[in-house]
A and B are shown apart, each in its own frame.
Chain A
Amino acid sequence: MSQLLSVETLSKSYPTPGGRLHVLGGVSFSLAPGRMLALTGESGSGKSTLLHLVGGLDRPDSGSVRLAGTEIAALPERARARLRRERIGIVFQQFNLVPSLSVADNLSLQARLAGRHDPAWEAELAERLGLGETLARYPEQLSGGQQQRLAIGRALAARPALLLADEPTGNLDEHTAGAVMALTRALVTETGAALLMVTHSMALAATLDERLHLSGGQLSHRAAAA
């Protein structure tokens, strides 16, 4: 199967008062369309940094990130922005919803930016995410679980090829987190997208196809989920 995402010897460091801090040191992996990959590791292991590099939010020091054959790291800022809006959906741990837009407008925001506004699909997403009754409300009027589902819905509304999720259930209780993840997996499977998810939870990681474990910026373990 051809790979949607190929990461080759990716390295990233940051300047600190005590010298450069090497966060990632030569990480390589790939992800095929329709596959779901969990990224685990202790705090500071470089999980979020890897996610940001894959999403084109940051540039690596060296190495390569190719999405459907396109080298992301080499793209200028404008082209990376275009790639993000058309091919990638990102779910942040802190939701990052736009407080001045209604639930309906938040849901459709990226789809509109990508030129893929599909009212029927967005209505279906809203229903399946349990947001059908809240479309006219604003994010501040939603519970934490609803806000997280809205963030997932916004990312999926544009039918991205790759969904990146950074601790998407980190702010939710166990029961709600399980329900949100089940729904996310179902939607990813239906849309044919690939999922790369950062999580601390081994239990959640076990629900995906594969698991990568990062330790000290190195890929220490890759395994199929149980």
Chain B
Amino acid sequence: MSRPASPAGVLRWTLATLLSHWWRSPIQLAALVVGLSVATALWSGVQALNAEARASYDRAAEAFGSRLPRLEPVGASRFDQSAYVALRRAGWPVTPVLEGTVSPDHAAPDPAPLRLIGIDPLTMPAGAGLVLDAPDAAEDDGENGDGFAEFILPPHRTYAAAETMRALGLGEGAVPRLADGPALPPLSLRPRLSPGLLVVDVGAAQTVLQAPDALSYLLIAPGGTAGLAAPKDVTDIPLRRSQPEGAGDLDRLTESFHMNLTAFGLLAFLVGLFIVNAAIGLAFEQRRTMFRTLRATGVSAGMLAGALGLEMVVLALGAGLLGLVGGYGVAAALLPDVAASLRGLYGADVPGSLGLRPGWWAAGLAMSVAGAMLAAGQSLWRAYTMPLLAAAGPQAWAEAQRRWLRRQGLVALGVALVALALPLTGLSGLMAGFGQLAGLLLAAALLLPVLLAGLLGAAERLAAPGLGRWFWADSRQQLPGLSLALMALLLALGVNIGVGTMVGSFRATFTHWLDDRLAAEVYFRAADTAEARRMTDWLEARDEVAAVLPNWRAEARLEGWPVDVYGFTDDPLYRTRWPLLAELPQVWDRIAAGEAALVSEQLAYRLDLAPGERIALPGAEGRLEAVVGGIYADYGNPKGQMRVDLALLLQHWPDVEQRAFGVRLDGAPAAPLVADMRETFGLGEDRLRDNETLKALSLRIFERTFVVTGALNTLTLGVAGIALLTSLVTLSGLRLPSLAPVWALGVTRRSLGLMELGKMLALALFTGLIAIPLGLGIAWMLVAVINVEAFGWRLPLTLFPLDWARLLALAVLTAGLAAALPLWRLARMAPARLVAVFASAR
């Protein structure tokens, strides 16, 4: 006789027995794997997008001197390098930087303009955050190795990230050609550089940008400049000192964007878990006999629960790996749109290709396992506590579900009350908003089966006795098994309606707002103050020009947030077209008198300002103080904004760049004027645009921003469809005892099939109808709470009933498609299987 089995041996055979269930029930296994892998894919896809974007922000924050103070020219974008030489001689620890934009030639796969930075590595301080490490830095012979020499000596090198090289369609050592001007030095890979950025020696940059002896600004090395002569005493070129914007600004500004993505990913993950929970619940029910047999043959309750847990981990790891592959695909597909959104909204450069990070794989697998354990928790507990001798009734689960249904309404009410009370708990506004949204979704999901049971019960009472009443009674009987899938469908539809309403409202408001906001026909930006003066003189001499409107900007910080202060002159254009959300009487007169300022909605929200209150912020010279005369919408701008009379701006920022203008025409078309301006002043597309082009650009950015939301929306709806399909397929086997007696009484399988289809369509339709008020609630939460907390602006809500009808039709279609496979199986089922129901019921 062999030795008794070790615990590992018992575990092994218990696990093998448990797993045998899945091999014999491949559709149920597929439901579990699909649910878990789809949930993991959507969650990890979103996390990959967030991680990629955040890594880019870190790289941007590390890039050239973004944390260092600088000396900038006053009233111009560039200045002569003689000022740099004079300052160095005077002991200033400064290093020169020349910036510009270059356009690759048409052979490049992506002809988008690239940012070129010229630096001087000899004077660049160590603390400037240089990211010039060679890929094989470990083998490099130090900072002054060959790479360094090649960079500063002709023919120089162009440092670029791999993404930038791909955009150029070139490899290391290749020479990038430009659309106009000389070629760049040969390329050299620097992986840590931001995408879209080219770094060359400052001398090479002057050649490429055709800006001999010109510099953009000087970075001041850490260590202090106390005791040194002031720049104005060293050079005649006017320079002003500016502090860097907070390195974490990009992180902070984009926080809400990423939180929105995360919320969507989490929602999709939870919808996926509904599928997993349904599959595991059914598997538990079907394995009750197996559990009892295992217990009777000597497997302890702890060992059984442990084996079930291990089984779940094994399945979760397998499905998680599949999900990660899917998640990578989702992220790779969505990344270009996310990158475009982040560039359009925040000016953040995010690479268009995805990196693979070990932490992402580990976190994705952990999420898959955690999700599976969460979904299986109840089943594991029931297996552990299941009395060995309890009767294994196949309807026990449905009975338990029905008991739970009775309590579910109360639980839903409790969840709703907790959600309402969240703002009182001290949670931050945005977190409380998301918490309330989650509470609304959960309460609605919990309430759904209660509402459906009520609806079906009412229909049953109204139906004629006989087959009609059986139809509704049987629908109600089937409800517990379908509840989770219908909840998933409700959430997906509700979120679709909610987000669709929000985006639609946003689009309608934004389009109208752009029309008013971009009321001047032409906008331009001169190279420096002198050119600006020449251009305004030239424009004012033209008959079709009604007014040239300065729009000069100074940067400030208020309570740690970046604020742009714009100066403008009084003009009928503003008085008639500029949209205000709230205002004081005679607001335009008060602004023109320098008493009042307009503030953007997000700035007013952040500082809790209302018209009539006072605002003060530090200017370059003295504090700017004014009454809030009005509040205006400034959709899409992450920064705060304030508008004052031009004279007031110049009083506090006398050195402000005087280069940006709008041109109001007297009804003449803009195109001839734009063409003349291009010809006369040689202005490129980036410095001269008519308002139609600007509107089109803004709308394009807007649409791309919501491409990701739309895609995640659709994927979530797809997941709900899968939930419905898997539930119906797994339940179809359990339906036989309900259908066989009716079939035996003389109802054909075709009629039964049609009734099954009608039942699913009715359930989907009811669910869709309930999703409409839920969706409107979500839309209201997004517009009135989440958007306000995240971005600081609130939109008027617009309703789109046609979209609801489309979604209802889609829900019914989804249910019809999901019911198709089980119906097909019923139609092809051999009568012997239906007869077998009676045999096993003996």
Contact = CB atoms under 8 A, between A and B. Distances in A.
Interface of A: 52, 55, 57-58, 77-78, 80-86, 88, 90, 92, 96-101, 105, 109-110, 112-118, 138, 154, 159
B25 interface: yes
Contacts of B21: 100
Interface in B11-64: 13-14, 17, 20-21, 23-25
B14 A96 contact: no
Closest A-B pairs by Cβ, 4 of them: A85-B298, A115-B5, A81-B300, A100-B24
Given A84-B297, A84-B298, A96-B293, A101 B5 contact: no
In the complex, which of the residues A57, A88, A159 has the most CB atoms of chain B within 10 Å of its own CB atom?
A57
Contact of A112 (B6, B13, B301): B13
B295 interface: yes
Contacts of B4: 82, 86, 114-116
A113 B300 CA distance: 11
Nearest to B304: A81
A110 B298 CA distance: 8
A86 B295 CA distance: 13
Contacts of B14: 113
Interface string B282-321: 0000000110111111111111000000000000000000
A78 B7 CA distance: 11
Nearest to A81: B300
A85 B388 CA distance: 15
A98 B295 contact: no
Contacts of B303: 78, 81
A98 B17 contact: yes
Given A96-B289, A96-B292, A100-B25, A109 B17 contact: yes
A81 B20 contact: no
A90 B13 contact: no
B576 interface: no
A101 B298 contact: no
30 contacts: A57-B295, A57-B296, A58-B389, A77-B300, A77-B301, A78-B300, A81-B298, A81-B299, A81-B303, A82-B4, A82-B298, A83-B298, A85-B10, A90-B297, A92-B296, A96-B289, A96-B293, A96-B296, A98-B290, A99-B290, A100-B17, A100-B24, A105-B17, A112-B5, A112-B9, A113-B5, A113-B13, A113-B297, A115-B4, A159-B1
B298 A86 contact: yes
Interface of B: 1-6, 9-10, 13-14, 17, 20-21, 23-25, 289-290, 292-303, 388-389
B9 A97 contact: no
Contacts of B6: 115
Given A77-B301, A115-B5, 4 more contacts: A77-B300, A101-B17, A109-B293, A116-B4
B24 A99 contact: yes
A147 to B, nearest CB: 12
Contact of B293 (A58, A78, A97, A118): A97
B194 to A, nearest CB: 56
Given A98-B290, A99-B289, A109-B17, A81 B24 contact: no
A58 B387 CA distance: 9
Given A58-B389, A85-B10, A110-B298, A98 B3 contact: no
A100 B295 CA distance: 16
A101 B290 CA distance: 10
Contacts of A101: 17, 20
B360 to A, nearest CB: 36
A12 B168 CA distance: 85
Contacts of A83: 298
A138 B24 CA distance: 10
Nearest to B4: A115
Contact of B297 (A52, A99, A109, A159): A109
B291 to A, nearest CB: 10
A145 to B, nearest CB: 15
A109 B13 contact: yes
A58 B389 CA distance: 8
Nearest to B13: A112
Contacts of B388: 57-58
B663 to A, nearest CB: 78
Nearest to A154: B297
Given A100-B25, A101-B20, A113 B299 contact: yes
B296 A105 contact: no
A116 to B, nearest CB: 6
Contacts of A115: 2-6, 9
Contacts of B296: 55, 57, 84, 90, 92, 96
Contacts of B2: 115-118
Contacts of B24: 99-100, 138
A101 B5 CA distance: 20
A208 to B, nearest CB: 22
In the complex, which of the residues B24, B293, B303, B388 has the most CB atoms of chain A within 10 Å of its own CB atom?
B293
Contacts of A86: 4, 298
A99 B287 CA distance: 9
Contacts of B23: 100
A226 to B, nearest CB: 32
A53 to B, nearest CB: 11
A143 B496 CA distance: 53
Contacts of A84: 296-298
B553 to A, nearest CB: 71
Contacts of A80: 300
A114 B298 contact: yes
Nearest to A79: B300
A188 B791 CA distance: 80
Contacts of A52: 389
A120 to B, nearest CB: 13
Contact of B1 (A96, A116, A154): A116
Contacts of A57: 295-296, 388-389
A115 B301 CA distance: 19
Given A115-B3, A159-B1, A85 B289 contact: no
Contacts of A58: 388-389
A54 to B, nearest CB: 13
A97 B296 CA distance: 11
Contacts of A105: 17, 20
B315 to A, nearest CB: 15
A115 B3 CA distance: 6
Nearest to A91: B296
A189 B621 CA distance: 109
Given A100-B290, A113-B10, A81 B295 contact: yes
In the complex, which of the residues A83, A85, A159 has the most CB atoms of chain B within 10 Å of its own CB atom?
A85
A13 B92 CA distance: 96
A112 B4 CA distance: 9
In the complex, which of the residues B9, B290, B296, B303 has the most CB atoms of chain A within 10 Å of its own CB atom?
B296
Nearest to B293: A96
Contacts of B292: 96
Contacts of A78: 300, 302-303
Contacts of A114: 4-5, 298
Contacts of B290: 98-100
A176 to B, nearest CB: 16
B389 A85 contact: no
A81 B303 CA distance: 10
A99 B733 CA distance: 15
Nearest to B25: A100
B297 A110 contact: yes
B834 to A, nearest CB: 15
In the complex, which of the residues A52, A83, A100, A159 has the most CB atoms of chain B within 10 Å of its own CB atom?
A100
A77 B303 CA distance: 11
A78 to B, nearest CB: 4
A115 B298 CA distance: 12
B102 to A, nearest CB: 66
Given A114-B298, A115-B6, A98 B293 contact: yes
A117 B21 CA distance: 22
Contacts of B17: 98, 100-101, 105, 109
A159 B290 CA distance: 21
